[in-house]
Structure 1
Amino acid sequence: MEEFRKEPATLTLIIINIVVFLMVEFTGLSQDTLHMLDWGAAYTPLIVEKGEVYRLFTSMFLHFGIEHLINNMLVLFVLGSRLERVIGKLRFIVIYLAGGMTGSVLSLVWDLRQGEYAVSAGASGAVFAVMGAMIYVVIRNKGRLEDLSVRQILVMAVFSLYFGFASSGVDNAAHTGGLAAGFLLAVFCYHRRKKI
């Protein structure tokens, strides 16, 4: 309960993602593409031609398989709890949702540019937004925040991006879009307290 009082937004978002995943699993399979589309996964032709813009948002709470969910929720728990403590729950939610949406939009633009469409889902864009915001916050705190250094967070970001680009079936546009959006949002949202 103590953790919930300190980081209510992070834990609430994790719970929502887990509950949605369980609902998807109970009604079908999270690795079934058509079933995921029924639940609101992003697919460019449906968004552009059918006007189903809501998919840019709903896809942020869907995951293809338990491993996909666990990976995203672990990073969200580790980084999100720290970011929320220092930036506040409302600003944290803004960074998470706006960063995730930016990642979804960039993914859509990339698909249209490439002319290749894949069904996409996952909190990765929002999680990368949290990572991007953490990079800025750590830099503003002279290279360290709690037990995180700027080197550690940059290494985490670089490796995460590298594994995304080295793997197939990963929405790298959402990752890079979320990372950049999170960093820029933190520039506007975070103001370091001056010690008197």
Structure 2
Amino acid sequence: MIPLKDNIPTNSFPVLTVLIIAINTGVFIYELTLSPDELEIFVHQYGLLPTDILQLNILNLFTHMFIHGGIGHILGNMLFLWIFGNNVEDALGKVRFLALYFGSGLAAAFLQSFVAIFEGSLDIPMVGASGAISGILAAYMKLYPYAKVLTFIPPFFFFFFVLPAWFFIGYWFLIQVLYAMFVPTELGGVAWYAHIGGFVAGWILINKLYKKNLKLVHYSAIRY
């Protein structure tokens, strides 16, 4: 399922959401200028290997979140970040939003690395903002469970569906869990456990970071 738009207005311009998207886009454009050999060196230098966790390589814990493995990878991540991140940033404010984003990303990195170490996959670098964005999705689901998400489901061409956020994000999370359980890491090349770790971290962190009472926000009007 591909989200196209939600119906939650924002009270301020999402500066950090836009900045994170811009940095990711800039890094990806730089990746496109590299030869295959140069790109491999770049990914291994700034991506996250499980050994980086063991060696407490702090730099790579953050740099890997700004590297992506292809056009579909970055487009999907940035689309999700834009649609759901702007509202979460609006609700939390700048500092707490960054704490949620990077806190979720770090939790994702640790869980995925732990699984990789357990499986013996020590030479595969992890890249992408998916773990951090998973935390944003969890926060959005908790803040706005009844928000309406205009959704495109690829098999149903030319048809669009309006789904409640709790269903859209809940279904997305279920898929991550199922793939993590039944698809070997070496197949598909997707860090499913990073998605799970980031989501769980975001679900926990939003309770600590959101200072107001968590009330279920229900916007009945749908404006697209």
- Range of TM-score over shorter length: 0.7 to 0.9
Does 2:208 match 1:188? yes
Partner of 2:63: 58
Cα root mean square deviation, aligned: 2.7
- Whether 2:136 is the aligned partner of 1:130: answer yes
Q: How many residues align?
A: 186
2:170 aligned partner: 154
Change (3 A) 1:30 1:81: farther
Q: Is the counterpart of residue 22 in structure 1 residue 29 in structure 2?
A: yes
Query: What is aligned with 1:41?
Result: 47
Q: 2:32 aligns to what SS in structure 1?
A: helix
Cα distance in 1, alignment partners of residues 34 and 204 from structure 2? 38
Instruction: Return the structure number with greater helix share.
Output: 1
Q: Cα gap change, 1:8/1:161 in structure 2, threshold over 3 Å: closer, same or farther?
A: farther
Scaled by the length of structure 2, the TM-score of the pair is 0.72
Residue deviations 1:4-60, cap 9 Å, x none? Answer: x5211111110011011112222335994333113x0011235535x5332121101
Q: Is this contact kept in 2: 1:125–1:174, CA < 8 A?
A: yes
How many Å apart are 1:153 and its aligned residue?
2.7
Is there any run of 5+ residues in structure 1 with no aligned partner, and where? none
Q: What are the superposed Cα offsets for residues 91-123 of structure 1, whole Å, 9 maximum, x if unpaired?
A: 211111111011111122222222222111000
Which has the bigger relative contact order, CA under 8 A and spacing at least 6? 2
Which of 14, 22, 27 does residue 7 from structure 1 map onto?
14
Which protein is richer in strand relative to its size? 2
- What percent of counterpart residues are identical? 26
TM-score w.r.t. length of structure 1: 0.82
Unaligned runs of 5+ in 2: 1-9, 150-163, 216-224
